[in-house]
Structure 1
């Protein structure tokens, strides 16, 4: 269980440090979701059966997040010419 927390913290650190490309931000978010999914899987293996439904819902949301993130990446890279976060006007 400690390794799942470590993976989550590494992904959070990567999210904080990699502010250049949109794809790297999306990969860090996906790594955070996978670590949460694995953590819930470990809890359900240890004997508690109620996190199994939560894990399935989390897996569904992470698949939707990945597909919408990639669609947004394609749309932004076609309209702006690159996926650099510094080229976006976020104000």
Structure 2
């Protein structure tokens, strides 16, 4: 039952990421939600087979680094352009 809830969390995070692609902040929040659901899925998988949780620490480290990079991009974009709309970021076009 918990596995289905986590899969639903993952799919809902993907849907928010796809539908709210205009705002960088909402995209970053949905990516963190996806990472959180994947973290719990990997934890349940490793817990089922009595494996060690060393891989979870590596995964958590990479997800924290991804969040810090995304937040720094968001802050520099808001300071430079005044909003977080992806289409106003002139370097992409």
**TM value normalised by structure 1:** 0.90
- Structure 1: where are the runs of 5+ without partners? none
What SS is found at the alignment partner of 1:33?
Answer: helix
**TM value normalised by structure 2:** 0.88
* Cα distance between partner residues in 2 of 1:56 and 1:28: 21
- Tell me what 2:77 maps to: 76
- Tell me what 1:5 maps to: 7
The runs of 4+ residues in structure 1 deviating greater than 6 Å are none
- RMSD over aligned Cα, in angstroms? 1.2
> How many residues are aligned here?
90
* Cα distance between partner residues in 1 of 2:64 and 2:71: 11
Which of 19, 40, 43 is matched with 2:42 structurally?
40
- Tell me what 2:61 maps to: 60
